[in-house]
């Protein structure tokens, strides 16, 4: 049986497992006599990064958030909300979740993936990896009607680079739309698929729509790229193998456990 946990999906704490906390857990604020510690702030900052990794939140804002949470906690205690069924159910789940995470971190710490296994996985992936690189230019516009207008001008002999400088809203407009060399995987699927279907020096006769707008794409070359080094892909390989490692561990635990499902999920 394959067990899936949300925590495994993010390799549960791959980042938490690597996170180190200061030995001197200094006080960052005192709220109504209650000390808020540096470790609280670090855990909270880590949680925020996992939820929204693209946005960096200023540390002073995180401190304000911790203070606000302490004030709300005190209000909850004043109203004796810790005795409510909702709170008890939430705490029961949090206890379950946190201890399972700590158990998995402990398992990975004590049963690390050997370096030889990581390198073997890297070698097998490199052999199968397509490292083709493409070269293309594009003209990005917001409206399909504008894209059709650009395509008409290209059909009449307009120069792609000139039209890119005139029409494109993308950052490559000043370079005539030139995107340079790139691996197809780097681009959104609709864009990559369009480039792959083109021949060199041909452009899309119909605009390609992506989340960024409408693209007219000119393919200008193809070459064999350089595969990534072991160190470059080691983190992703480690995460993948650790997920398998944990999965096998959980399967073994399930085989030894006495499990009875007494009520079907609703």
Per-residue pLDDT tens over the stretch 4-22: 444 444 444 444 444 445 5
Q: What is the pLDDT of residue 185?
A: 83
Q: What is the pLDDT of residue 47?
A: 85
46 found inside a domain = yes
Mean pLDDT of 97-111: 94
pLDDT at residue 212 tops 80: yes
245 found inside a domain = yes
Same domain as 235, residue 189 = no
Range of the domain at 234: 111-129+228-256
Strand 27-31 relative to strand 34-37: parallel, antiparallel, unpaired? Answer: antiparallel
pLDDT at residue 225 tops 60: yes
- pLDDT band at residue 173 under the 50/70/90 scheme: very high
262 found inside a domain = no
Q: Identify which has the larger pLDDT, 185 or 151.
A: 151
Mean pLDDT of 147-151: 97
Average pLDDT of the residues of the chain? 89
Same domain as 246, residue 205 = no
pTM of the model: 0.57
Look-up: residue for tokens 């497992």? Answer: 17
pLDDT at residue 132 tops 50: yes
- pLDDT band at residue 84 under the 50/70/90 scheme: very high
Half-sphere exposure of 185 (CA within 13 A, CB side): 6
Same domain as 104, residue 71 = yes
* Calculated CA dihedral for residues 195, 198, 203, 205, nearest 10 degrees: -100
Same domain as 248, residue 204 = no
95 found inside a domain = yes
Same domain as 204, residue 165 = yes
pLDDT at residue 220 tops 60: yes
Rounded Cα distance, 20 and 194, in Å: 45
Q: Residues of the chain with pLDDT > 70: what percent?
A: 90
Same domain as 214, residue 248 = no
Same domain as 139, residue 85 = no
141 found inside a domain = yes
Mean pLDDT of 193-206: 96
Same domain as 118, residue 246 = yes
Give how far Cα 33 sits from Cα of 27, 37, 64, 80, 158, Å: 12, 13, 16, 19, 73
Dihedral of alpha carbons 1, 10, 262, 248, sign: positive
261 found inside a domain = no
50 found inside a domain = yes
């Amino acid at each position: 049986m394959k067990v899936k946990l949300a925590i495994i999906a993010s390799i549960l704490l791959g980042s938490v497992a690597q996170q180190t906390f200061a030995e001197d857990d200094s006080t960052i604020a005192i709220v109504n006599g209650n000390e808020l510690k540096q470790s609280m702030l670090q855990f909270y900052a880590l949680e925020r990064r996992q939820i929204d990794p693209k946005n960096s939140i200023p540390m002073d804002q995180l401190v304000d958030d911790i203070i606000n949470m302490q004030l709300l906690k005190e209000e909850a205690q004043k109203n004796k909300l810790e005795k409510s069924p909702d709170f008890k159910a939430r705490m029961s789940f949090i206890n379950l979740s946190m201890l399972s995470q700590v158990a998995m971190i402990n398992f990975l710490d004590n049963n690390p993936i050997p370096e030889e296994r990581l390198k073997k996985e890297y070698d097998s992936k490199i052999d199968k990896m397509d490292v083709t690189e493409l070269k293309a230019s594009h003209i990005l516009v917001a409206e399909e009607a504008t894209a059709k207008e650009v395509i008409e001008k290209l059909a009449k002999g307009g120069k792609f680079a000139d039209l890119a400088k005139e029409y494109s809203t993308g950052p490559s407009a000043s370079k005539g739309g030139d995107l340079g060399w790139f691996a197809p995987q780097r681009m959104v699927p609709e864009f990559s698929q369009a480039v792959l279907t083109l021949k060199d020096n041909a452009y899309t006769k119909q605009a390609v729509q992506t989340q960024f707008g409408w693209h007219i794409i000119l393919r200008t070359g193809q070459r064999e790229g350089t595969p990534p080094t072991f160190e470059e892909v080691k983190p992703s390989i480690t995460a993948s193998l650790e997920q398998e490692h944990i999965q096998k561990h959980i399967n073994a635990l399930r085989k030894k456990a006495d499990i009875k499902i007494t009520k079907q999920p609703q």
